[in-house]
Copies of this chain bind each other. A is one copy, B any other.
Amino acid sequence: MTSTRIGADIIAADHERRGAALKTDYQALGEKLARSGIDIESVTAKVAAFFVAVPSWGVGTGGTRFARFPGEGEPRGIFDKLDDCAVIQELTRATPAVSLHIPWDKADPKLLTEKAESLGLTFDAMNSNTFSDATDQAHSYKFGSLSHTQAAVRAQAVEHNLECIALGKAIGSKALTVWIGDGSNFPGQSHFTRSFERYLAAMAEIYKALPDDWRLFSEHKMYEPAFYSTVVQDWGTNYLIANTLGEKAFCLVDLGHHAPNTNIEMIVARLIQFGKLGGFHFNDSKYGDDDLDAGAIEPYRLFLVFNELVDAEHRGVEAFHPAHMIDQSHNVTDPIESLMASANEIRRAYAQALLVDRAALSGFQEENDALMASETLKRAYRTDVEPILAEARRRAGGAIDPLASYRASGYRARMAAERPKVQGGGGGIV
């Protein structure tokens, strides 16, 4: 039986307190949607079946190169992290899977599986790390990993990825996400072509070890930690990787990894068209890879991404099942709160995209009626779908108001008492 971190009483109190208003709002929205020929129940059902994975590292406090300001009751290891992830799932019912990051989350697979099962959680994609040095590793990644000039370093990085696959197999994961920091800080430092050839060769080795029912996700990023060039710098290069490796290789799109002003939803459409969209790392950003909470800065952009996903579903694109994962850095908020809010924002964008009148839109597109096409999207977008999201949560046993319920639960204070404060903070790396 699944243990609970929050407690049925908290959920019950939430339902008791907010149920009536929700009922009213849900009914009013249902009537309004019905006038447009939309059945609210079918939307609610789809929303309830939509999930997004939570990253294990997301429940810890993030930081910048300048400082990290730890919060209260931070998780001390993967088992604490799973507890925190369970809280998010209990309250939102939108995040049943957790994505691990190795080596930080390395543990006995049996213990991991037992713990996850006890919490009603499963494991999503595995994430390898070759962008920083583990304490005991033989070779440094200072000058790259999978694309390093030295064969021994590349071999070590490949080996690490194989280890991730092995652990993943043991705990039921079905995908490996590879993001590397390889690149250069100076013109001339790296030979672009040779670096990429080495990267492709190393990835081919990893790909060979991939189980048949797994997918390999490569992730592009414009810059940071490398500040002049990055080996997998954009979706063009990412596509070339997936295309070179084979049919189990796909491109992962992190919303914060693009050049300023980039039309990301169009990249999503292109990758869908060419059969290479693997999935997402959701977050939001204003400047660079800010890793802010999904929907916090440009919610319409998030909607437009989901508009492409729903459109692809609508068109019946074959073998279309992108992975959804949050990837954020929570520097000034309680990470559990940010992840709950983000999971809701992601579902919100999905719900709004489901409301788009696709027949009408298609007509406006054919007729080049730009204004009405835009209005068609905007009308769906400006619908306040919170009652749908709340009702989906409520029916699944989650909270109508996850944030308020979480605060009412006193979970963070309990953890602050249980878990000793994590050392450290300011780095002063300027």
Contact between B373 and A57 (Cβ–Cβ < 8 Å)? no
Q: Is residue A181 within 8 Å, beta carbon to beta carbon, of the partner chain?
A: yes
Contact between B426 and A133 (Cβ–Cβ < 8 Å)? yes
CA distance A333 to B370 in the complex (A): 6
CA distance A259 to B258 in the complex (A): 9
Q: Is residue A32 within 8 Å, beta carbon to beta carbon, of the partner chain?
A: yes
Q: Out of B286, B288, B375, which one reaches A228, CB within 8 Å? A: B286
For residue A270, which residues in chain B have a CB less than 8 angstroms away from its CB? 192, 196, 236-237, 240
Integer count of this chain's copies in the complex: 4
Contact between A104 and B188 (Cβ–Cβ < 8 Å)? no
Contact between A286 and B304 (Cβ–Cβ < 8 Å)? no
User: Least Cβ distance of A430 to chain B in Å?
Assistant: 5
Q: Out of B258, B366, B374, which one reaches A296, CB within 8 Å? A: B374
For residue A272, which residues in chain B have a CB less than 8 angstroms away from its CB? 193
Proximity string of chain A (64-77) to chain B, C-beta cutoff 8 Å, 1 when within and 0 when not: 11111100000000
Contact between B426 and A332 (Cβ–Cβ < 8 Å)? no
CA distance A427 to B237 in the complex (A): 27
Query: Which of A21-29, A46-54, A109-117 is near enough to bind chain B?
Result: A21-29
Q: Out of B28, B131, B187, B197, which one reaches A67, CB within 8 Å? A: B131
Residue of B nearest to A223 (CB): B287
Contact between B227 and A285 (Cβ–Cβ < 8 Å)? yes
**Chain A 286-342 residues near chain B, CB threshold 8 A:** 286-288, 290-293, 295-301, 304, 307-308, 311, 315, 327, 329, 331-334, 337-338, 341
Q: Can you spell out 21 A-B residue pairs with CB atoms less than 8 angstroms apart?
A: A25-B32, A62-B430, A64-B224, A68-B427, A143-B332, A185-B333, A188-B307, A189-B332, A189-B365, A190-B365, A192-B265, A223-B290, A224-B288, A227-B291, A228-B296, A236-B267, A240-B270, A260-B261, A298-B301, A300-B300, A333-B370
